[in-house]
Amino acid sequence: MGRLFGTDGVRGLANDSLSPELALQVSAAAAQVLSRGKKRAVAVVGRDPRASGEMLEAAVTAGLTSAGVDVLSVGVLPTPAVAYLTGVYDACLGVMISASHNPMPDNGIKIFAAGGHKLDDAIEDRIEALIADGGFTRPTGGAIGRILGRPGLGGHVFDVTDRYSLEGTHERYVEHLVQATGRDLRGLTVVLDCAHGAASEVGPAAFREAGATVIPINAEPDGLNINDGCGSTHLEQIQAAVREHGADLGLALDGDADRCLAVDATGTVVDGDAIMAVIAVGMRESGELAEDTLVATVMSNLGLHIAMRAAGITVRTTAVGDRYVLEDLRSGGYTLGGEQSGHVVFPRYGTTGDGVLTGLKLMARMAETGSGLAELAGIVQTVPQILVNVPVSDKAAVASAPAVLEAVAQAEQLLGETGRILLRPSGTEQLVRVMVEATDLAQAHDLADQLAKLVEAV
């Protein structure tokens, strides 16, 4: 069996590579690994609105309860909300059913440990080993897990303590976001693209509660339209809407709302690097940026490093994936980190990237300074970056092929200190990603094209 877990959980084509049978196995194994030592362990389960989530939620719930774990089903909520509620309910684990920014036919299973923390590699390896071994312990009788409650049922399925009541769960998360914002957003107008995803209700509610005027778009999920030509992977709609409504900015979420990209009042894109820079400078000024340090991945542009150096901020780099950013944040006690793709993490308020919170924090900086987003984001001057995604049949083998490694080394030698190259297998798709940064745009294009053609040939 190949490795199940990618950079962000288990992901695949729903009812194909990600079958209900696999979902049951993964959740049952995770329950046994993460609930060890607890008599009546509890798991929080949420999902995004894609149609296959209904089927997979049933399988995940079956897997958890078959392992003796009680289930709190919180319904459709963003990934960071499930992580937050895993901590709030003192659950042993949380499960989010979502394929994030992937198209509707895909789905995924993201698992959180106690406190809402993402799993490290060692825990994932234990879960995979248990699945491969098939050595599940199946309780019987009263030891089988139960479903403790669902939002809107007006009570519990059976008698449990009041702390497991799910009444007001969505409102609780919105309140948490608004408290974390720390500033009244009255006077600011935002277009919010919800990607027909998990934040279609709680996203607009949070911005309104914080005082902003909100124009929501793509906030009518039907199970089939998630990420369909909208959200953080398709910014054309929000660019047009911001200009049409004369809004101060636009914010685009992805399907599970763990990432956020922005556009300024003119419709110009503000990516995760610029968002982190704006927020980092504000946090440094207020004394909230621990060690004056920002944690980013190797995918962040050289322009971010230059801007942060000028602002007196150190940038630490990690491997690609917000889980690695999170690990570095926790180990070093840092207070801000994220990815160019729009995953931004505030460890004081959450254990994973939170697109809604990121947008609120960005607007709080605008309110604090009285400046427009274009002016604030202008501190980052992006170095030309070319990214080519090459479809392959075996991403790990191709990325490590001697011919590919030799070509990368030669290109790096050619660039010297004027740029850099990153070639890596995707963590979620059968792709090899070729990224070239260079102060000379034509040179960046040429090198990216050469390397992509070589990868394709290999």
Q: Alpha-carbon Rg of the chain, whole angstroms?
A: 22
Which residue among the candidates 27, 100, 200, 300 is catalytic per the annotation? 100
Q: Pseudo-torsion of CA 74, 75, 78, 80, nearest 10°?
A: 20
256 appears as a binding residue in the annotation: yes
| Residue 424 neighbours by CB distance under 10 Å | 17
The order of strands in the sheet holding 42-47 is 10-13, 106-113, 93-97, 42-47, 70-76, 147-149
For 28: left if phi > 0, alpha if psi spans -120 to 50, otherwise beta; the answer is alpha
Which residue in 259, 240, 258 sits closest to 250, CA to CA?
Answer: 240
Which residue in 66, 105, 118 sits closest to 350, CA to CA?
Answer: 118
254 appears as a binding residue in the annotation: yes
Exposure of 303 in the CB half-sphere (CA atoms within 13 A): 21
415 alpha-carbon distance from chain centroid: 32
Q: What are the φ/ψ torsions at residue 304 (nearest 5 degrees)?
A: -65, -45
Which residue in 274, 241, 242 sits closest to 260, CA to CA?
Answer: 274
Q: Name the residue type at position 390.
A: V
Pairing of strands 189-193, 249-253: parallel
258 appears as a binding residue in the annotation: yes
CA gap 31, 446 in Å, rounded? 49
The order of strands in the sheet holding 189-193 is 213-217, 189-193, 249-253, 260-263, 269-270
Give kind and range of the element (H or E) at residue 79. Answer: helix 79-88
- Asked about 393 being catalytic, the answer comes back as no
Q: Which two tokens stand for residue 148?
A: 């403790």
Q: Is the dihedral of CA 278, 284, 285, 288 positive or negative?
A: positive
CB 242 within 8 A of CB 235: no
CA gap 115, 289 in Å, rounded? 23
* Residues making up the binding site: 100, 254, 256, 258
Residues with catalytic roles: 100
* Residues making up the binding site for Mg(2+): 100, 254, 256, 258
